[in-house]
A and B are shown apart, each in its own frame.
Chain A
Amino acid sequence: MSAVFTVANKEFHDGLRNRWVLSICIIFAVLAIGLAYFGAAAAGKVGFTSLSSTIVSLASLAVFIIPLIALMLAYDGIGGEDENGTLLLLMTYPLSRWQLLLGKMMGQGAVMAFSTLVGFGSSAVMMGIFSDTTSWGELIGPYAVFIFSAMLLGWIFIAIAYVISASVSEKSKAAGIALIVWFLFVLVFDLGLLGMLVATQGNVDETLFPYLLLLNPTDIFRLVNITYFADQNLSGLMAIAQQTQFSTVSLFGGLLAWLALPLGLAMMIFNRRGL
């Protein structure tokens, strides 16, 4: 097990060294504080608005940016080592492939977790200090759910990035595929579902439809955060999904399943990869 931690430790320090941690923290903090403060600008006012609208709009922005960051962070996880020649070398050490992959997952997962906590957490702290309408007690629950689900979303896309990285031989190819994967999960999937609804004039099995959303981890992430605030006015797919009652726990279960799946797949593909 110590080999796993050695790899994880190196990956995390790489993240600190090449400013990934710092950049992600800043992006998240600016995003979160900005949304919390200027979120109601369209309605003609500035200042900290309601917690629920802040979190919901934060979630709908984070759903674009977290997968992108995670994919960029990890797309060369295996291919990069291979191109360096260090993969071959590492495999002559008392280190197995699963230990290497798990170590990388833990290290880069820690980069993501730390940045999410600090970046989004800072907005919670700002809100707690400066907002007159929201108390600390109200704040902690929703933010904890949001931050934890954001971490999971990041981990899921790191694992997906490993699947890509393990399957192709070149870094540049992996980058291209990562972009397509991001596009599919974040944009095309929802558009496809909406298109299906429109094409069938809403004549889709109502009980089945919300389950289709579980096929996309980004939708689960959004569901987690909106089901927590059922009073919001929502549009699009989320409005439909709102009617079904997935519990927060089962949605987290869905996210965990989405983490295990690509991680297992990446392991399988990596094990078959030639040296």
Chain B
Amino acid sequence: MNIVELQQVEKSYQGVSALHQLNLELKQGEVLGLFGHNGAGKTTTIKLILGLIAATAGQVRVFGEDPTQSEARTLRRQLGFLQENVSFYDQLTGLEVLQYFARLKGIPKQSCHALLEQVGLSQAGKRRVKTYSKGMRQRLGLAQALLGEPKLLLLDEPTVGLDPIATQDFYRRIEQLKEQGCTVILCSHVLPGVEKYIDRALILGRGKLLAEGSVNDLRQQADLPATFHLQGDLTLPEHLAARANRDGRSMRLDVALQDKMTTMQQLIVLPGLENVDVHLPSLEDLYTHFIETHQVQEATP
């Protein structure tokens, strides 16, 4: 059974289309990255899955049920959600906030201490949320989302405000959850570092699906070159020299992905080569590529 299933889903607000014919299937244990610019439809998609809003057309199924129906409300116990910019209740302590949400979810309060410990807030648990930094609020939000071992996690910009170490911890936690069979949707426009942890990416632009697939699939679809950065006094073979951009002693060379290894072999034996860097199209490059091609297509009628 698919954990999340969207079929031809459309959503418009007062006649303005926010989401256009979106199809999505998520299996248990999958980690999906949902990317797009501001207003691309990421938050709308998440709200549809959460059952906070109803689709204008199409079908939304979560755990096999329509999430907007009141019968689906008990299913929400298996759901964890962290939204962007939640500030919680300033006058309560971190522990009290977590305990309040635990009670609402019908989870014993004892689990709260362990969760605070996991997100590194056990020291700050007795302090009021008012005194928390943005990163600490974000971690409290994460602890909240992890209450009751959810089967489906929806995280909107989860790493905003987290320092690099906390971000690493967070991704490691996501991996653990995935191993336990939890399905995760990560929603973000901050991309670096996320590609290792997602099984699939979905790139949205202006409410439309621009690209979908694993990072490797997307690389092939995009057909972006691998880039070599070379340093040293070099004389390139002729067929490569034509494609290189020279800047003093350093050089930039773009080759098609499938030619990467042969080029590498040719380069490595060149006399005078001091350094070589290979850059594969990152998720960020792919993202930019798909957004730009989409805009070009829109511009040419």
- Decide if B47 is an interface residue (CB 8 Å cutoff): yes
26 inter-chain pairs at a CB distance below 8 angstroms, sorted by A residue, are: A6-B103, A6-B104, A7-B104, A17-B91, A84-B86, A84-B88, A85-B83, A85-B85, A86-B87, A86-B88, A86-B89, A88-B86, A89-B83, A89-B101, A89-B144, A90-B104, A91-B50, A92-B79, A93-B76, A93-B104, A94-B73, A94-B76, A94-B105, A95-B73, A96-B73, A275-B52
- Chain B residues with CB below 8 A from A274, complex form: 53
Q: Is the CB of A86 within 8 A of B86?
A: yes
- Tell me, yes or no, whether B100 is within 8 Å of chain A by CB: yes
Find out whether the CB atom of A93 lies under 8 angstroms from the CB atom of B101: yes
Q: Counting CB contacts under 8 A, is B20 at the interface?
A: no
In the A-B complex, the 10 residue pairs with the closest CB atoms: A85-B86, A92-B81, A6-B103, A94-B76, A93-B104, A275-B52, A92-B50, A94-B73, A84-B87, A10-B100
Q: Which residue of B lies closest to A103 (CB)?
A: B104
Q: Which residues, 19 to 77 on B, are CB-close (under 8 Å) to A?
A: 47, 50, 52-53, 70, 73-74, 76-77
A245 within 8 A of B: no
Minimal beta-carbon separation of A42 from chain B (angstroms): 43
Q: At the interface, yes or no: B271 with Cβ under 8 Å from chain A? A: no
Q: Which residue of A lies closest to B154 (CB)?
A: A92
Any chain A CB within 8 A of the CB of B108? no
A16 to chain B, nearest CB (A): 11
Q: Give the bracket for the number of chain A residues in contact with chain B.
A: 20 to 34
Please state if B106 and A92 are interface contacts (CB–CB under 8 Å): no
Q: Do residues B91 and A89 form an inter-chain contact, with CB atoms below 8 A?
A: no
On whether the beta carbons of A3 and B104 are closer than 8 Å, the reply is yes
Residue on A with the closest CB to B106? A94
A3-B104, A92-B50 given; A84·B89 CB < 8 A: yes
Residues of B within 8 A of A2 (CB): 106
A136 to B86, CA, bound (A): 53
| Given pairs A18-B91, A88-B86, A96-B70, 17 additional interface contacts (CB within 8 A) | A3-B104, A10-B100, A84-B88, A84-B89, A85-B85, A85-B87, A86-B86, A86-B88, A89-B101, A89-B144, A92-B50, A92-B76, A94-B76, A94-B77, A95-B73, A275-B47, A275-B53
Question: Which residues in A have their C-beta under 8 angstroms from that of B81?
Answer: 89, 92
User: Smallest CB-CB separation from B46: which chain A residue?
Assistant: A92
The minimal Cβ–Cβ distance linking A84 to chain B, given in whole angstroms, is 5
Is A190 interfacial (CB 8 A cutoff)? no
The interface on chain B, measured as residues whose beta carbon lies within 8 A of the other chain's beta carbons, has a size of: 25
Residues of A within 8 A of B101 (CB): 89, 93
* Contacting pair A89 B79 (CB below 8 A): no
Question: CA of A72 to CA of B74 in the docked complex: distance in angstroms?
Answer: 35
A85-135 at interface with B (beta carbon < 8 Å) = 85-86, 88-96
Contact B50 A93 (CB under 8 A): no
Q: What residue in chain A is nearest B78 (Cβ atoms)?
A: A94
Min CB–CB distance A24 → chain B (angstroms): 17
**Binary flags per residue of A163-198, CB closer than 8 Å to B gives 1, else 0:** 000000000000000000000000000000000000
Contacts of B83 in A (CB 8 A): 85, 88-89
In the complex, what distance in Å separates the CA atom of A91 from the CA atom of B100? 14
Nearest Cβ distance between residue A171 and chain B, in whole angstroms? Answer: 13
- Pair B104/A92 contact, Cβ less than 8 Å: no
Judge whether B86 and A89 touch: CB under 8 Å: yes
As a 0/1 sequence over residues 80 to 99 of chain B, the CB contacts with chain A under 8 angstroms (1 = contact) are 01010111110100000000
Q: How far is the CA of A223 from the CA of B47 in the complex (A)?
A: 50
CB neighbours (8 Å) of A95 from chain B are 73, 104
The minimal Cβ–Cβ distance linking A90 to chain B, given in whole angstroms, is: 7
| Measured CA separation A14–B88 after assembly (Å) | 13
Set A14, A88, A90, A92: member contacting B91, Cβ < 8 A: A14
**Whole-angstrom CA separation of A14 from B91 in the bound complex:** 8
Q: Which residue of B lies closest to A10 (CB)?
A: B100
- The chain A residue sitting closest to B73, CB to CB, is A94
Closest chain-A Cβ to B54's Cβ sits at a distance in Å of: 11
Find chain B residues with CB under 8 A from A14 CB: 89, 91
- Cα A64 to Cα B106 in complex, Å, equals 42
CA–CA, A93 to B76, complex, Å? 6
A10 to B53, CA, bound (A): 27
CB-CB < 8 A to A275: which residues of B?
47, 52-53
Residues of A within 8 A of B100 (CB): 6, 10
Contacts of B73 in A (CB 8 A): 94-96
Give a binary string over A4-19; 1 marks a CB under 8 Å from any B CB, 0 the rest.
0011001000100110
Closest chain B CB from A71 CB (angstroms): 20
For the complex, give the distance between the alpha carbons of A202 and B191 in Å: 76
User: Closest B-chain residue to A6, C-beta based?
Assistant: B103
How far, in angstroms, from A7 to B103 measured CA to CA in the complex? 9
Query: Taking CB as reference atom, which chain B residue is nearest A275?
Result: B52
Min CB gap A9→B, angstroms: 8
Neighbouring B residues of A6 by C-beta, 8 Å: 100, 103-104
Query: Which residues of B sit under 8 angstroms from A3, Cβ to Cβ?
Result: 104
